[in-house]
């Protein structure tokens, strides 16, 4: 083979690889869900509870985007044990917001070094934790909710308890967990506006039955997220949030992530 032909052969051999590199998605564009600003790394010293642990450098870390109980059910020892089995003594990377919570804890998405999915994903998928009410990152929210849906369908962990998912159409079911985080499901009876508030009612007795309240100024954000608030009547929805008692039981929704349409 002449030097000229050899050069041409090498170029042709390189060309397919170059084209693959051109059209392939760059590694940093295929990031795993639920990231955020890097908060460093370190080794876990001890696990405190089902969603909190302490690093060897003294930082206390709370898992972001999760709750550890449904509708007032106390956290079980196996929930803490599940976190311990995943992180105890392991090297972790932390991602989230720089600001700590009011207790001085780092709130973060946590990954065991060398793994793409956050620890939260495994714990939710095994039914040990719930997805919290508000997550700004839509891709992250969808990822975690998919994991939770599978756990609920398989009745894993928390979801093995019949009372874990509350009936939004039974006010007494919700009143039992005032002041606590709830995941509830039911069919909407009516949608009404009064003053600056929109009410999603799950019963006919507006002052006694369960309702979700939404500030009128945030309605556009719900609509933009694909939640047609004014068209929810007779649709089945799933609600998550903290229960208040104002006449009847109430959950105030300030994020589109608190309302899911079920089977629509």
Structural domain includes residue 98 = yes
Domain around 196: 165-261
Interval 174-199: pLDDT, tens:
998 899 999 999 999 999 999 999 99
pTM greater than the 0.85 cutoff: no
Closest by alpha carbon to 197, among 235, 246, 238, 236?
A: 246
Distance of CA 61 to the CA centre of its chain: 17
Residues contacting 57, CB < 8 A, separation 6+: 42
Q: What is the pLDDT of residue 22?
A: 34
Interval 197-235: pLDDT, tens:
999 999 998 788 999 999 999 999 999 989 999 999 999
Structural domain includes residue 61 = yes
Q: What is the pLDDT of residue 138?
A: 86
Alpha carbon of 111 to those of 71, 72, 194, 260: distances in Å? Answer: 28, 28, 45, 27
Q: What is the pLDDT of residue 110?
A: 97
Structural domain includes residue 193 = yes
Give the Cα separation of 230 and 234 in Å (integer).
11
Same domain, 52 and 136: yes
Structural domain includes residue 83 = yes
Residues in the chain predicted with pLDDT less than 70, given as ranges, are 1-32, 70-74, 264
């Amino acid at each position: 083979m002449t030097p000229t032909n050899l050069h041409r052969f090498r170029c042709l051999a390189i060309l397919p690889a170059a084209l693959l590199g051109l059209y392939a998605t760059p590694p940093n564009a295929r990031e795993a869900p639920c990231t955020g600003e890097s908060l460093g790394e370190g080794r876990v010293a001890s696990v405190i509870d089902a969603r909190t642990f302490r690093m060897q450098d003294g930082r206390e870390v709370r898992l972001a985007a999760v709750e550890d109980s449904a509708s007032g059910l106390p956290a079980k020892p196996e929930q803490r044990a599940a976190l311990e089995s995943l992180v105890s003594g392991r090297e972790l990377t932390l991602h989230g917001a720089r600001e700590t919570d009011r207790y001085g804890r780092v709130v973060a998405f946590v990954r065991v070094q060398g793994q793409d999915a956050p620890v939260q994903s495994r714990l939710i998928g095994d039914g040990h934790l719930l997805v919290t009410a508000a997550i700004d990152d839509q891709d992250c929210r969808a990822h975690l909710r998919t994991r939770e849906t599978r756990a609920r369908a398989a009745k894993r962990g928390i979801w093995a308890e019949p009372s874990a998912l509350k009936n939004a159409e039974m006010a007494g079911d919700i009143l039992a967990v005032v002041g606590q985080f709830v995941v509830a499901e039911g069919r909407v009876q009516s949608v009404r506006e009064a003053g600056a508030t929109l009410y999603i009612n799950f019963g006919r007795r507006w002052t006694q039955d369960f309702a979700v309240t939404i500030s009128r100024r945030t309605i556009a954000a719900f609509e933009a997220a694909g939640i047609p608030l004014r068209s929810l009547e007779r649709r089945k929805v799933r609600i998550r949030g903290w229960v208040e008692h104002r006449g009847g039981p109430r959950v105030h929704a300030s994020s589109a992530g608190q309302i899911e349409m079920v089977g629509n």
